[in-house]
Amino acid sequence: MNWITKLIKPKIKSLFEKKSSKTEENLWTTCGCKNLIYKEDLQSNLKCCPKCGAHHKLSCKERFETFFDNKEYELIESPLPKDDPLGFEDNKRYVDRLKSARKITQQNDAVLIAKGKIKNIDVVVGAQDFRFIGGSFGAASGEAFIAGVQHSIENNMPFIFFSCSGGQRMMESSIALMQMSRTALAVNELKKKNIPYIVILTNPTTGGVTASWAMLGDILIAEPKATIGFAGRRVIQDTVRETLPEEFQTAEYIKDHGGIDLVVERKYLNSTIGTFLNVLLKKAEAQAKNESSNVTIDQSLQSAS
């Protein structure tokens, strides 16, 4: 009877399956607010729910298209370290998880780096895809981040990064943890060169990513209702043994308590960051001119003496 179950029943079922139901399934999606949303409406609204305003996750390329001027950008290649250096395996081999994530996202790792223009200002932008093992940050992500910083320094371009991650990648253990210090040092090099570094925290930004490069920006911006924190809500609640506020670890709560600078809707990110860059770059230019004039005065005084 097994062949009937395996072969006959699925064929009969497919004969009676309505084509319209497949079409409807492709045309509609749901949101956390339990409302049914027409996919085309969601896409045209930058993947923000038109009913409750929830900001749905974006892939790296979707992020670049919504952020760069005229949707124009160029990807920057980054080194790809050896897969699975520790031979990690739990209920599934790490190499298999990588294969699956690459198939879903069509990229080598969670991070992509691109360059383009924001309000006609040349910038380098990084983004994370949460579909790639929860946007977890490992050796390849670290290499991509550092490649972005290097390109930014070499071309004197502001560096902007969109975080979306559960933290460091546990399958790489201490190798992943090491990326926290590496990325922090890379950010320090940007600051030495007076190159603007802006971070946009999207939902979620947690763990080692929050504890390293994500909170080191000159300006910290978050998308509405994004979850931002280090440890999980339950862990903190069990540790302090107090009931936490309902809005705890939301972008709005973090802003009200001085953790970030702004909460900005997705559709305003391009214009808001463009304004910030204009101010920061003019300030850097004025500072450079001031330093140059001081050097000239010192030289003239030395020659006079």
For the chain, what percent of residues have pLDDT higher than 90?
80
Both tokens assigned to 47? 């993947």
Contact status, residue 263 vs residue 221, Cβ threshold 8 Å: yes
Mean pLDDT of the chain: 90
pLDDT band per the 50, 70, 90 thresholds, residue 6: low
At CA 86, angle to CA 81 and CA 91, rounded to 5?
Answer: 115
Contact status, residue 143 vs residue 81, Cβ threshold 8 Å: yes
What is the full DSSP assignment across 242-265?
SPPPTTTTBHHHHHHTTS-SEE--
Between CA 115 and CA 87 the distance in angstroms is 34
C-alpha 237, offset from chain centre: 27
Question: For residue range 95-144, what is the model confidence (pLDDT) as tens digits?
Answer: 999 999 999 999 999 999 999 999 999 999 999 999 999 999 999 999 99
Between CA 134 and CA 128 the distance in angstroms is 9
Burial of 53 from C-beta contacts in 10 A (0-12 / 13-18 / 19+): middle
Between CA 45 and CA 146 the distance in angstroms is 32
Of residues 11 and 176, the one with the higher pLDDT is 176
Contact status, residue 168 vs residue 214, Cβ threshold 8 Å: no
Between CA 247 and CA 151 the distance in angstroms is 38
Between CA 142 and CA 134 the distance in angstroms is 15
The model's pTM: 0.86
Q: Peptide bond before 85: cis, by omega within 30 degrees of 0?
A: no
Residue with tokens 């990690």: 88
Q: What pLDDT sits at residue 283? A: 76
Both tokens assigned to 49? 């729910």
pLDDT(284) > 90: no
pLDDT(285) > 80: no
Q: What is the mean predicted confidence (pLDDT) over 177-189?
A: 98
Between CA 103 and CA 131 the distance in angstroms is 10
Between CA 82 and CA 143 the distance in angstroms is 12
Question: For residue range 17-64, what is the model confidence (pLDDT) as tens digits?
Answer: 554 444 445 788 989 898 889 999 999 999 999 999 999 999 999 999
Question: For residue range 225-279, what is the model confidence (pLDDT) as tens digits?
Answer: 999 999 999 999 999 999 999 999 999 999 999 999 999 999 999 999 999 999 9
DSSP state of 231: S
